[in-house]
Amino acid sequence: MAQLYYRYGTMNSGKTIEILKVAYNYEEQGKGVVIMTSALDTRDGVGYVSSRIGMKRPAVAIEETTDIFGFIRDLPEKPYCVLVDEAQFLKRHHVYDLARVVDELDIPVMAFGLKNDFRNELFEGSKYLLLLADKIDEIKTICQYCKKKATMVLRTQNGLPVYDGDQIQIGGNETYISVCRKHYFAPLITSKRNKTMTIELRDVTIKNYFDVLNLDVKEYQKQFIATNAISLAEAYVYTKNGDFVAPLAVYDNDAIIGFVMLAYDKKIGISNGNYLLFRFMIDKYFQDQGYFKPIMDKVLDYVRTAPAGLSNKLWLSYEPENEHARSCYLSYGFKETGEIFENEVVAIYDLTIEK
């Protein structure tokens, strides 16, 4: 018997990845699926399902007037499953349509979405899915500020928490953070500049790799830096090839705030026996709060322990158009060499200089 499944989770809990994984598993067996998403989700254009780690697929966009039941019923070939992303944005009649798809067409439906909004109230789609779903599951993730399970969504604007306003806002400069109940009512964001920083570089392990994947940069920065998913894949491949690569999660106390990756190649290439700062990123929630220098200090401390061999220099490269990165690195003490590596400007830091 087909059933209506509702899988909910807070922001960045991996809901879209789950949809794409389920679709892949069906299609690998030659079983077709229909992927749908709300037309309100325009992050990568209308009619696309996309995850933070770069996976993306076209989907049927659900408008307010969309007849979901009629659309599925009239398909020339009956799908084995219907997958719905951003289900919180659905209207009451959409959810009842999904229930009809299950009951009258005998097609399982899996809907994924948020449960509550930033005001800690149910979305319309979430409300009716909770009422009508045969099975309800929670996709878990952790609070941005502690180790507790995140159950709420905190909206911030200009660095301050916001608890009132329209439930759905298209555009704007607001940011959404997954938090536990405690940090929903008492977020740390307003006091970050004043609290004592305790920066630590930790290995990426089975326990924190998903947190690393959930880190993200600001929209304009994405053209300049690879995703952390690609970085971890590169680390795996280079390590298999016998090279030294160290992917490291950056923590302030117990909050993950960024990611760096170092490499060392004493055999070939521009590195010439020196360490390469392969990746450096600070999550968008933690930028512009004075983290760059203390993180770089920890990177230099790590390199000076000679994890793969002794070296006098740390080098990196950046695109010529990335003026913000250039300014940060040069102000820290990196010097441009005049070399170009894979169309990027090379800069080197002299490790014999004490900071």
Query: Which sequence positions are flagged as catalytic?
Result: 86
Residue 149 is classified by DSSP as B
Distance of CA 120 to the CA centre of its chain: 22
The stretches of the chain forming alpha helices (DSSP H) are 15-28, 68-73, 92-105, 124-132, 181-185, 209-214, 228-240, 292-304, 323-332
Closest by CA position to 13, among listed 67, 51, 41:
51
SS3 282: strand
Please give the helix or strand (H or E) that residue 42 lies within, else none: none
Surface-to-core class of residue 283, CB atoms within 10 Å of its CB (0-12 exposed, 13-18 middle, 19+ buried): buried
104's CB contacts (< 8 A; 6+ apart) are 69
